[in-house]
Amino acid sequence: MAINQHRPGRLPLGALLALAMTGFICIATETLPAGLLNEISQGLEVSSALAGQMVTVFALGSLLAAIPLTIATQGWRRRNVLLLTIVGFLLFNSITAWSTDYGVTLVARFFAGASAGLAWSLLAGYARRMVAPHQQGRAMAVAMLGAPIALSLGVPLGTWLGTLMGWRTTFGLMSILTLILIVWVLVKVPDYPGQSSDQRIGLRRVLFTPGVRSVLAVVIAWMLAHNILYTYIAPFVTPAGLDAEVDRVLLVFGLAALLGIWLTGRLVDRHLRTTVLACLVAFAAIALLFGLFARSVAVVYAGIFVWGLSFGGAATLLQTALADAAGEGADVALSMNVVAWNGAIAVGALSGGVLLDQVGVGVFPWVLLVLLLMGLWIVFNARTHGFPQGQRQAGQVVAGH
């Protein structure tokens, strides 16, 4: 592990915010088509359903590429890998902006997803290497800021710009942002060596490292619950008469998620286990309230806020726990996290759609509750490895704190 190049006590905000901008571009690139389906379908002369596959193939690219690309680049210098992912966004967003062929567009989107998969497996470990061990959680919280900002502000802004100026212009603007980010990374982000061949840990060994499977299981349970609700938030809030206020509901969620990230940054290094348990308990309690009072506007809005608050720091909490458990195999473990996270998005959307069609939206809270109780049970029992008790210190925990 490289020696920290920054003064203890101070976070290298310029470098960490460059990582956050990378995450912003990842999420914005993935989700922009969702708000511009009508414009894209007209521009490419396909149906809205086919235009929606731009999101599907992006997720597929992340799922398939994250682990092999992470393993293939283990020995590369870290900044070169980061720049590779950003150049990937520059290239494939530019192709998307210029392409008039649906097939070419899908190929570009697949490889943009591959770039995102590599980026997400890299960012958390990169942030950890920039700071002293006792600051790693806070550093990761800053580096993860880009995702909720993209979801709460970037995507609505991109949708508005796409409607105003055309969807191709929006993807062109994403390419301009990546050019700025390349300069930012070269100026502000420190470089670190990759792992030598004798330091590298194989996929199977990382997976069977104590604690890794527990954290990944919690990722799947928590993110499945989240994505079932988030994907179908419009039909879910309809019984409360909020079907015309979905944008406002999502704004409340996004703002609460930003607050959740700030709180997580304050708590993660000293109280990681407690914070994970508190977030899962809060989400489970909201699921129960949603099940009992789904038609109450006040309950829905309050619940959306608490849900966003509990979700905002999820990426920081789970990736910190996973990297701590995996040790020198952190980058490989974090690539597994990309697969688990994106898999939960896909399965959540699929299973939520089946539940919506076959049973109705009223069953959602009870399915969420079961998933969240499973996650709580895993965290509760992973007190030695995965979510150990005590304060994080030097990649370990200090008992008695």
pLDDT at 348 over 90: no
CATH number of 203-398: 1.20.1250.20
Q: How far apart are CA 64 and CA 69, in angstroms?
A: 9
pLDDT band at 198 (very low <50, low <70, confident <90, very high): low
Amino acid in position 360: G
Out of 2-11, 231-240, 297-306, least confident range = 2-11
pLDDT at 394 over 80: no
Q: Name the CATH code of domain 13-188 (choices 3.40.50.720, 1.20.1250.20, 3.50.50.60, 2.30.30.170).
A: 1.20.1250.20
Token output for 202: 């194989």
Which position has the higher pLDDT, 4 or 51? 51
Q: How far apart are CA 246 and CA 223, in angstroms?
A: 21
Cβ-contact 397, 389 below 8 angstroms? yes
**Using CA of residue 250, residue 251, residue 256, residue 261, what is the dihedral sign?**
positive
How many of the other CB atoms lie within 10 Å of CB of 49? 9
Token output for 140: 């990761």
Q: In the 3-class helix/strand/coil scheme, how is 192-222 assigned residue by residue?
A: CCCCCCCCCCCHHHHHCCCCHHHHHHHHHHH
pLDDT band at 353 (very low <50, low <70, confident <90, very high): confident
Instruction: For residue 385, give Cα distances in angstroms to 36, 311, 323, 325, 396.
Output: 44, 23, 12, 7, 10
Residues of the chain with CATH 1.20.1250.20: 13-188, 203-398
Q: For 55-114, what is each residue's pLDDT tens digit?
A: 878 988 988 988 899 888 988 999 999 999 999 999 999 999 999 999 999 999 999 999
pLDDT at 129 over 80: yes
pLDDT at 196 over 80: no
Model confidence, pTM: 0.79
